[in-house]
């Protein structure tokens, strides 16, 4: 047994810290749990009261290679001892170049590629759009319903969910258009993924033809699996058709793999499973194993469109974060972590499918590889989103030693994001807690 609770949750020290947090920290940052962290290793989080939790959140899909893997900690410490920051814009260093080389080799696509390193997912999205606009000389950007791309102005404009991400923050950026995402469970008329894929692609082409003009469109940005939107995979057929359409019309296809990347779906990147190579890929989260680093990687001619000094920043590709990211990539190198991730995916899929048959409140169970989720509804037929059910299950989880996150446009989804180093026994222990929480959900 990994879970060990010494106090009721939250414990007394967490409560005291929360009181201080409420006085000193702005309201904006959200907490999925009320417990304060003391340390984290592998798939285990220990709080300040000595309670041990199984982590099904991984810092929102960051600690894919586990919390504080020894190799990452060692590489970051050694890099920090050499230099914490000098600025790639001032005196370049090898770690940035080596990480760019490794990322170019790792992302799908045959031709020459280049990379730009930045600090956060939102910053990667901003830069991908800037690069696509300069490269094409066009302005329009097409995104999808239920998408999440970050909290800066362009990234927020591209994001779908109004509360809490957009409400009151307008006006938003111009020249952003939204097409339907093939979310089969919530598509009117059919939940057959292939039919929904075809109908959504038709809506996408209609939007471009009737409202924007393909020759005015700089970029199309899509998450291969919706992250914050509730872990809905886009059918491979949809992604392939987008790829063909963008190639035909000279539009830059951006795959936002910030949440799906680094093994989260069982392959290094989700696009691999659809057999497509985007023109640009945005990466963050799992890349640095916890250190803030993000990247835009893609076709060299596209990446080279901005002039010198047009993109970049003070901290982008910080040497400590680069060293950590290189160590993370090494952990994925021999394929065993990915094989383990796929095995976890099989186990999770079987459990979630079983819940869908047994619990009427579980309307949908879905995902790709180990990136899986359940969607709660008040009734199977009407599919009315049941936000409180997801909230109650998440609360049951942390009170019983599992850190789990909600998601979805209607906040009625529980998503599973365990560190991919979690053992099968730990996973089963955590899933048992989750199942007990779902079993308790009553209207
Ligand atoms: C798909 C996707 N894109 C972009 C972002 C924004 O990343 P960040 O929070 O690092 O700015 C996220 C964060 O959750 C994400 O899931």
User: Cβ(122) to ligand 1 under 6 A?
Assistant: yes
CA of 124 from ligand 1 middle (Å) equals: 9
- Averaged over 159-181, what is the pLDDT? 96
Q: Which of 181, 261, 284 to mutate to test the pocket of ligand 1 (most atoms within 8 A of CB)?
A: 284
pTM as predicted: 0.98
pLDDT of residue 83: 97
- Indicate which residue's Cα is closest to atom 4 of ligand 1: 149
CA distance 295 to 115: 7
- Indicate which residue's Cα is closest to atom 10 of ligand 1: 121
Query: Contact at 8 Å (CB) between 220 and 142?
Result: yes
pLDDT in tens, 90-129: 999 999 999 999 999 999 999 999 999 999 999 999 999 9
pLDDT of residue 235: 98
Q: Which of 29, 59, 129, 148 to mutate to test the pocket of ligand 1 (most atoms within 8 A of CB)?
A: 148
- Averaged over 385-397, what is the pLDDT? 98
User: Cβ(233) to ligand 1 under 6 A?
Assistant: no
Atom of ligand 1 nearest to the CA of 120: 10
SS3 346: helix
CA distance 348 to 354: 10
Fold of the 70-333 domain: 3.40.640
pLDDT of residue 421: 98
pLDDT of residue 443: 74
Q: Which residue has the tokens 């997801």?
A: 390
Q: Which residue has the tokens 């102005």?
A: 153
CA of 149 from ligand 1 middle (Å) equals: 5
Which residues neighbour 414 within 8 Å (Cβ) at sequence distance 6 or greater?
373, 374, 376, 390, 393, 394, 404, 405, 406, 407, 434
User: Cβ(256) to ligand 1 under 6 A?
Assistant: yes
Nearest alpha carbon to residue 338 among 259, 260, 267, 418: 267
* DSSP-assigned letters across all residues of 102-129: HHHHHSS-SS-EEEEEESSHHHHHHHHH
- Indicate which residue's Cα is closest to atom 16 of ligand 1: 259
pLDDT of residue 323: 98
Own/partner contacts of 328-332, CB < 8 Å, gap of 24 or more, are 328/64, 328/65, 328/69, 328/72, 328/262, 328/286, 328/287, 328/288, 328/289, 329/99, 329/102, 329/103, 329/106, 330/71, 331/65, 331/69, 331/71, 331/72, 332/65, 332/262, 332/263, 332/268
pLDDT of residue 227: 98
Task: For Cα atoms 442, 403, 230, give the angle at the middle one, nearest 5 degrees.
Answer: 70
SS3 content of the chain, % helix, strand, coil (to 5): 40, 20, 40
Phi, then psi, of 413 in degrees rounded to 5: -120, 140
Atom of ligand 1 nearest to the CA of 292: 10
pLDDT at 336 exceeding the cut of 90: yes
User: Cβ(228) to ligand 1 under 6 A?
Assistant: yes
pLDDT of residue 331: 98
pLDDT of residue 137: 98
User: Cβ(397) to ligand 1 under 6 A?
Assistant: no
User: Cβ(144) to ligand 1 under 6 A?
Assistant: no
Which residues neighbour 330 within 8 Å (Cβ) at sequence distance 6 or greater?
71
CA of 148 from ligand 1 middle (Å) equals: 7
- The mean pLDDT value of the chain amounts to 97
CA of 258 from ligand 1 middle (Å) equals: 6
pLDDT in tens, 398-442: 999 999 999 999 999 999 999 999 999 999 999 999 999 999 998
pLDDT of residue 442: 80
User: Cβ(118) to ligand 1 under 6 A?
Assistant: no
Domain range annotation of the chain: 1-55, 70-333, 341-362+420-428
pLDDT of residue 91: 97
Atom of ligand 1 nearest to the CA of 285: 10
pLDDT of residue 15: 98
CA of 358 from ligand 1 middle (Å) equals: 33
- Indicate which residue's Cα is closest to atom 7 of ligand 1: 121
pLDDT in tens, 276-333: 999 999 999 999 999 999 999 999 999 999 999 999 999 999 999 999 999 999 999 9
User: Cβ(121) to ligand 1 under 6 A?
Assistant: yes
CA of 291 from ligand 1 middle (Å) equals: 14
pLDDT at 202 exceeding the cut of 80: yes
Quick one: what percent of the chain has pLDDT higher than 90? 99
Nearest alpha carbon to residue 179 among 156, 165, 160: 160
User: Cβ(259) to ligand 1 under 6 A?
Assistant: yes
User: Cβ(291) to ligand 1 under 6 A?
Assistant: no
Atom of ligand 1 nearest to the CA of 123: 11
User: Cβ(58) to ligand 1 under 6 A?
Assistant: no
CA distance 183 to 402: 28
């Amino acid at each position: 047994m990994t879970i060990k609770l010494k106090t009721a949750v939250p414990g007394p020290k967490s409560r005291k810290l929360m009181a201080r947090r409420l006085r000193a920290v702005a309201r904006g940052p959200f907490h999925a749990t009320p417990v304060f962290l003391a340390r984290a290793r592998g798939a285990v989080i220990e709080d300040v009261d000595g309670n041990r939790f199984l982590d099904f959140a991984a810092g929102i899909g960051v600690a894919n290679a586990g919390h504080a893997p020894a190799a990452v900690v060692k590489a970051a410490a050694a890099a920090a001892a050499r230099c914490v920051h000098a600025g790639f814009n001032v005196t370049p260093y090898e770690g940035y170049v080596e990480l760019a080389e490794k990322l170019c080799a790792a992302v799908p696509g045959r031709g020459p590629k280049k990379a730009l390193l930045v600090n956060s997912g939102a910053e990667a999205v901003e830069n991908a759009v800037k690069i696509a606009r300069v490269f094409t000389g066009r302005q329009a950007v097409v995104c999808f319903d239920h998408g999440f791309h970050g909290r800066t102005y362009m990234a927020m404009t591209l994001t779908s969910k109004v509360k809490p991400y957009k409400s009151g923050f307008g006006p938003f950026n111009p020249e952003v258009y939204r097409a339907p995402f093939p979310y089969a469970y919530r598509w009117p008329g059919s939940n057959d993924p292939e039919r929904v894929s075809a109908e959504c692609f038709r809506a996408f082409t209609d939007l471009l033809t009737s409202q924007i003009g393909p020759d005015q469109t700089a970029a199309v940005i899509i998450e291969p699996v919706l992250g914050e939107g509730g872990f809905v995979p886009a059918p491979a057929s949809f992604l392939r058709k987008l790829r063909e359409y963008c190639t035909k019309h000279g539009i830059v296809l951006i795959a936002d793999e910030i949440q799906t990347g680094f093994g989260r779906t069982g392959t290094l990147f989700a696009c691999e499973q659809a057999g497509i190579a985007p023109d640009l890929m945005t990466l963050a989260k799992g890349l640095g194993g916890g250190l803030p680093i993000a990247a835009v990687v893609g076709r060299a001619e596209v990446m080279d469109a901005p002039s010198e000094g047009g993109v970049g920043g003070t901290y982008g590709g910080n040497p400590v974060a680069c060293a950590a990211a290189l160590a993370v990539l090494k952990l994925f190198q021999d394929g065993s972590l990915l094989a383990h991730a796929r095995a976890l995916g099989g186990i999770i899929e079987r459990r979630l499918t079983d819940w869908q048959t047994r619990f009427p409140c579980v309307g949908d169970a879905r995902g790709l590889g180990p990136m899986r989720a359940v969607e709660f509804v008040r009734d199977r037929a009407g599919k009315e989103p049941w936000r409180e059910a997801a909230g109650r299950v998440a609360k049951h989880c942390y009170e019983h030693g599992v850190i789990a996150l909600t998601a979805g446009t209607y906040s009625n989804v529980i998503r599973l994001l365990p560190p991919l180093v979690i053992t099968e026994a730990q996973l089963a222990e955590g899933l048992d807690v989750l199942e007990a929480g779902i079993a308790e959900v009553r209207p």
